[in-house]
Every structure is written in C-alpha cells, then in structure tokens.
Amino acid sequence: MSKIRAGTRSKIYTSTRTGLIFNTAETAPSAEKVIDDGALITNKHGNIALTGFVEDGETVIIDRSTEPPTLHLKGAGVTALYGYTDGDGEFVQYKNEASSNSAEITGIYTGPSSQLRII
C-alpha cells in the first residue's frame, strides 16, 4: 500500500492496487437519506462528497430490513464533488470546472464510518 496526494489538496489518501479507499465522515447520512433524499456522502476529511446514487437493483441496492439500513454498491456510477466542509458542517463545492468527476464505487455503506472503494 502506498500514500498518494490527491492533486494539490493537502489530505493524504490510501491507494491500493484495486482503487482508492473512501472513509465516510462521522456525520455521514443514513443509507435511506442517500437514496430517498439525495444526501451527499462526505469523506472523513470533508473535502470530497459523493452524489448521484440511484437504486437500480443491480449496482445500487438498499436493504431496508437491516438496522441500520444498508446500501450495497457494486461498481455504482456516481459523481465525486471536490470542495470543503464549512463551519456549519455543510459541504461547499469548489467553483471551477475540475470540481467534479465521475467515479465507480464499491462497498457496503451503513452510514458514518463506512469504508468504500473508488475503482
């Protein structure tokens, strides 16, 4: 495993041969809010947020029978937004053309402190 710097950002992320590990914030929303309300999933550093999760029964599946509800992601196509978390805990996207990127996400999301993989 090696450490890489994401662009000119100051945070360090762990890279593996199979992708980038995305650790969700302690304030991350529930899986239900992500699917039902379109809530953003921010990383623990508050500088990347994931959006665009659509339950399709194949790459994005929500299991509401578990506690907490679980989001199963299998190469789900999402959008990664780059920015920062302000003093009120709200994510603010940078205002330039390189402030978003398409990404594929794999993992099991249950809310705060989940670990996902950007592939």
What the block records as the tokens of 45 is 């550093």
Q: Quick one: pLDDT band at residue 16, thresholds 50, 70, 90?
A: low
Supply the pLDDT for residue 15.
52
Sequence spans of domains, the chain = 2-118
Residue partners of 78: CB distance under 8 A and separation at least 6: 50, 51, 52, 53, 102, 103, 104, 105
Instruction: Give Cα separations from 11 to 17, 36, 88 (angstroms).
Output: 19, 30, 20
Report the share of the chain in percent with pLDDT over 90: 74
The mean per-residue pLDDT over the stretch 84-110 comes to 91
- Rounded to whole angstroms, the Cα distance separating 70 from 30 reads 8
Q: What is the mean pLDDT of the chain?
A: 86
Place of tokens 């978390």: 85
